[in-house]
Each structure stands twice: as structure tokens, then as C-alpha cells.
Amino acid sequence: MEVHNSILELIGNTPMVKLNKVTQRLTSEIVVKLEYLNPSGSLKDRIALEMIEQAEKTGDLTPAYTIVESSTGNTGIALSFVGTVKGYNVVIYETIPGKLGEEKAKMMRNMGAEVHVITPKDLEGLKEKSVPGAEVELPGRQICLDLEKSNKKIWWARQFSNPGNVQAHKKTGKEIVEQVNGTVDCFVASIGTGGTLMGIAEVLKEEYPHVRVVGIQPASSSEVMIPGKFYPKSEIKGGIISDMLERNGFIDEIITVTDEEAVKMTHRLWKEEGLYAGVSSGANVYGAVREAQELSKGRTVVTILPDNMNRYLTEEHYVT
């Protein structure tokens, strides 16, 4: 058995599993990639490593710098993990309120990061409890932008617009191509910052030109995303999502999933499939089942299980 030189070498190369019980009434199969088996527990380990190492190569990030980011949790945890292992100071602006935010903040602090929990006003009083990360991270992003402008020793990761986000998931896409036996007919994933969907879809479309690409938004989202249409872009908004949406024919459809739908499917993954996955995984599989129901016999739908169950021990919500 190989001995690795660093825990960072274990990022990526996650396994894929065919669903069995959730798909019993379907004639198409669903295959899921277990991204929650990355070292810190989510697919964001990939982008944290890629973004940091690219910045190191260009000289934009050196040992004297502090890494900052706004996050709904997973990227903050991943940057805390990768950044502190590499010797950087890490400051995260966590934008999920309540016990869920406190839980994630504790994980980041345990890894050595400084964490500031902020509560976006647009989350207060929501009846639909799913959380669209691209929207609620904006206050934290503005803080990161201001810090970067006022201090030359600050490096803002900019996950929402950093090319390293997409590049990291092109590697994920290549892994999927190598792992799937046959072709991929449909790929489904939550949009979030856009990096997962765009990076993987670019690789799959090159390998399987016919593949259908479906993005998922939380039902609570106040901003409508339409494939092939303009999406606003600024220093703190848009980025990868804008670039992806404006590409004609790249995304076939965007659907919404409610908090309740995501949580119910997550419980099925736990009890019926034995998968130690988080609620965003339930949302992705819910969308994958929806697509598989429309496909002919023998087709293959692929999706991602982004993070693990331990992010949702006190509260269960669909968060991107």
C-alpha cells in the first residue's frame, strides 16, 4: 500500500457508485460520484487546492499573505484545510445563519481559520429554507473585496469567478469519463458558483456530444437563471455563472428543488443506499431521478454527491 507524502495528495480520484434502491422503478441507471470522500468532506477540496496552487505559481499568493473568502460552508472549510496545511493564515466570512452556520464555523476554526459569521438580511423570514449560495455570499464577498483593496497582503480566492474553480472540475470530469462504463447521457448538478457544472460539463460534452446538461437551483433563489441568456456580472457577482449561462446550447435546462424535496431524498440515500451524503446530494439525486424518468431504457445519468452528512447534524437544509 502506498504511503502519501501529504494529505493533499488524497484530494480527488473519488469513486463512483450505481444507485440501486432509489432507482428500482427506473429503466435508466443513475451513477453518483462520491465527492464527500475528499479529505475535508466535500468536492470543494478540489477547487481550494487548484486555486491556491495556481496563485502560488503566478506569484499572486506568497507565504506572507492571508487567504480570505466568503462561503456558505464547504469552500470555507476546504480553504481552511488546504490553506492552513500549506502554512497560510485563512479568514472566512461564513454566510449561513443559525446552528448550521455555527457548525461549519466550528469546523473551520478547528482547522485553524479565523471565522466571521454574518447573516444576510435576505435570509430572514424565508418560508422556503433552501439557501442559494451565489446570492447569500454577496455581503461576504463585498467585505473580501474591500479587504483586498486596502491590504496588499490579502489574497481573495474569488471562488465565484476564479478559473481554477472550473479547471479543478475539468479533472473531475475526466475522472468520470474514465470511470463510467459506456456513455453518459445526462449530467445533473447544483449550480452554486458554477464551477462544478461548467468544468464537468465541458469535458463530458467533448467526450459525449449528445449529453444533456441540467443545472439545479434552490427553490428559494430570487434570481432566475436562463440558459443562453444574460446574467449580471460585477466584482462580486456573476463570474463563472454568467460565462456559463451566456453560452448558447451549453446548459439544456435549469430546474429548482425545494428544501423538503432535497432533505427527503437525502434520507433515502442514507437509509436505502448507505451513502453518507449531505443534503445537496439529495437535491442532485432528486434532479437525476427526474431526468432518468424521461430517458429510454439503458441510459445513464451521472450526478455528484458534494458533501457529507456531518455538515447537517443539527439542521438539514439544501445549501449551494
Read off the pLDDT of residues 230-256 as tens digits, 9 standing for 90 and up. 999 999 999 999 999 999 999 999 999
Grid coordinates given for 209: 456530444
Tell me whether strands 186-190 and 212-218 are parallel, antiparallel or unpaired.
Answer: parallel
**Rounded distance, CA 46 to CA 164, Å?**
9
pLDDT of residue 255: 97
Domains of the chain: 7-37+170-311 (3.40.50.1100), 44-156 (3.40.50.1100)
pLDDT of residue 292: 97
Structural element, H or E, at residue 273: none
If you average pLDDT over every residue of the chain, what do you get? 94
**Is 60 exceeded by the pLDDT of residue 124?**
no
pLDDT of residue 128: 74
Angle at 280 between CA 221 and CA 168, to 5 degrees: 100
Locate cell 475526466: which residue? 174
Q: What is the mean pLDDT of residues 121-150?
A: 83
**Is 80 exceeded by the pLDDT of residue 121?**
no
Rounded to 10°, the helix 163-179/44-58 angle is: 130
pLDDT of residue 126: 56
Closest listed residue to residue 110, CA positions, set 69, 80, 83, 86: 80
Active-site residues: which are they? 44
